[in-house]
Amino acid sequence: MATRSRSTVTADDQLQIQLPMWGGDQRGLPNAFARSALFNVANARKGARENLKRKPIASLKGITITYTGEELRQDDEDAFLQILHIARLQPLGTEVKFTAHSMLVELGWSLNKAGYARLVDCIDRLKASGLAVTVEAGKTPIRQNYTGSLIRSFRWREEGVDAPLRHWEVLLEPEIVALFGPNTYSRLDWKTRLKLPPLAKWLHSFYHSHATPFSYKVETIHSLCGSEIAQLRQFRYKLKIALALLVERGFFYEAFIDARTDHVVVKRLLQVDHQAVEAEATVEE
């Protein structure tokens, strides 16, 4: 079912479609999104957002994304991840219900008028989005496709007068499940993500989608994250800071930019443990 196109999902199928289950301290994200500039690293609070029309989004080989709508940033991804998290408990195509207050608490955003306005803006952007995503599944001839919005609809109601309780309801397109195949989505560490600035957040998602991280050129990372920094030299400086922060937070065991090749080289803790086991096994042999 996860590999069906939008046009072949029937009304009866929709009643059965559900996102995968992940833990309460995790959030699920399609690898196609993590490996692209769909949610870029521009400062969420600064600068006007560009309105895009069928714009090709920078992504890794094997992923093709075109996007229509207001530019998306990491705060939009945070809101989307939390909506997906709630939605995983029920069939897609049914209302995802939550209060604005509970959402703001989960996101760690201000519980004031500005916080509510920021959340409404994010959900409005997700609702007004238009995506065309195609993923080539490795060396097999399988292609996964999704065409639609990130959120189908959004409505709300208020209870009370002095301190109204805002009840919100969101609908997701059932066909988005096509991007959540067994090997096509990643489970992110939510608590770690929330404490990171935009570039480090993007790197955190990007490398979560790699079982064994590859080394990438700095200019490739610059393109994939959608950085607004024009000069590669300035971006390289910001990238070093973000990599060091992820080492400090325990996500990477080691992360640096190779001065000879200008490649970003990282090692995850799980990767280091696996290498140690292999080395021990070799010694025993």
pLDDT tens for each residue of 235-273:
999 999 999 999 999 999 999 999 999 999 999 876 544
- pLDDT over 80 at 53, yes or no: yes
Residue 5 has pLDDT above 60, yes or no: no
Give the integer Cα–Cα distance in Å for 135 and 224: 16
Please report how the helices 198-208 and 74-87 are oriented relative to each other, as an axis angle in degrees rounded to 10. 50
Q: What local confidence, expressed as pLDDT, does residue 219 receive?
A: 97
Share of the chain above pLDDT 90, in %: 74
**67/131 Cα distance (integer angstroms):** 5
Q: What does the pLDDT read at residue 10?
A: 46
Q: Give Dmax over CA atoms of the chain in angstroms.
A: 74
